[in-house]
Amino acid sequence: MISENDLREQLTLCTRIFAMQGMIGVFGHVSVYQPETKTVFITPGMGSDKATLRPDQMVPTDLKGNAIAGTEGPPVEWPIHTALHGARSDALAVAHLHTPHATLFAIAKREFRPVTLQGAIFNEGVPLYPEAQLITNPERGNALLKIIGNKRAALLRGHGIVVVGQNLQEVLYTALVLEDDTKKTLQAASLGEVSTISDQDCRAFGAEIALERRAQRAWNYFASLEARWDRQPGTGRSELFP
C-alpha cells in the first residue's frame, strides 16, 4: 500500500507541474485513490493557488464526497473523481482540467484522433460527455462513467477534460500527451488537411513502447523542472482559463 504521505506528496507535485505547464489554474482538480482505505485525496477547489500547493492542503474524502478530516470540503465537481475511483480498478488517479487546446475538442464538432505517435495511447478514442453542465452530483458522475467506459480520457462539452490513470505518473503523462496532440492538430490544420495516425499504426506503436516507463521518465523530468520553477505562470501572465 502506498502511504498517505507519499500519495499527498505525489498529488501536490503532479498538480504543481500541471500549473507550471499552464494546464490548471483557477479551475481544475486532481485526485488519487487509496483503495485499501477507500480514501480519495483531492486538491482543494476553485481559486486555490495550484502552483504553491502543499501536501497538508489535500482534502481526504470518502467515496460519497464527505471530507474525512479538516474543515475544507472537496471541489464541487468531486463526483467526477468518486465515480471513477469507485468503479474502475485502473482509475487510481484522475485529473479534471480545462486545458487550452484539448478543451477545443469539447467545443468543435470534430472527433479527436491521434496525430502523433505519442498520441497513439488515445487510439481507443476520447468520448464526449454531451451535456454542457458541471458534474456536481453522483447521477452525473455515473453518466460520465458510462460514457468514458474503459477509456483513458473524456471531453466535457463546453467545459474541459477528464483523464484517468493507474497512478499520478500516468495521469500526468497522458494529460500532457492529449494536450500536445490537440495543440498540434490545431496548428497543423492551418497548413491544410490533417493526417491522423491509423488504428493499425497506433497499435503497432503501442506494442513497441512501455507506457509505464515513459510516464515515469516524464515524471522525473518535469519534477526536476518544477524544483527550480520560479512559480510564475508559464505565459508570464495569469489567465482565468489557463
- Pick 160 or 242: Cβ nearer Zn ion: 160
User: In the complex, which residue's CB is closest to Zn ion?
Assistant: 160
- Pick 119 or 160: Cβ nearer Zn ion: 160
Q: Give every strand in the sheet of 160-165, ordered side by side.
A: 59-61, 39-42, 29-34, 93-97, 160-165, 153-156, 128-129
Taking the complex as a whole, how short is the minimal distance between the CB of residue 77 and Zn ion, in angstroms? Answer: 5
Three-state SS at 203 = helix
Q: How far is CA 24 from CA 9, 162, 242, in A?
A: 18, 12, 6
Taking the complex as a whole, how short is the minimal distance between the CB of residue 96 and Zn ion, in angstroms? Answer: 6
Number of residues lying near Zn ion (CB under 5 A): 1
- In eight-state DSSP terms, residue 98 is -
- Pick 27 or 205: Cβ nearer Zn ion: 27
Cell 499527498 belongs to 8
- Pick 74 or 160: Cβ nearer Zn ion: 160
Residue 119: closest CA among 206, 221, 23: 206
How many Å apart are CA 63 and CA 17, to the nearest integer? Answer: 26
Binding mask 142-161 for Zn ion (x = CB under 5 A): ------------------x-
Taking the complex as a whole, how short is the minimal distance between the CB of residue 18 and Zn ion, in angstroms? Answer: 14
Taking the complex as a whole, how short is the minimal distance between the CB of residue 27 and Zn ion, in angstroms? Answer: 5
- Pick 12 or 103: Cβ nearer Zn ion: 103
Task: Measure CA 220 to chain center.
Answer: 18
Taking the complex as a whole, how short is the minimal distance between the CB of residue 97 and Zn ion, in angstroms? Answer: 8
Contacting positions for Zn ion (CB under 5 A): 160
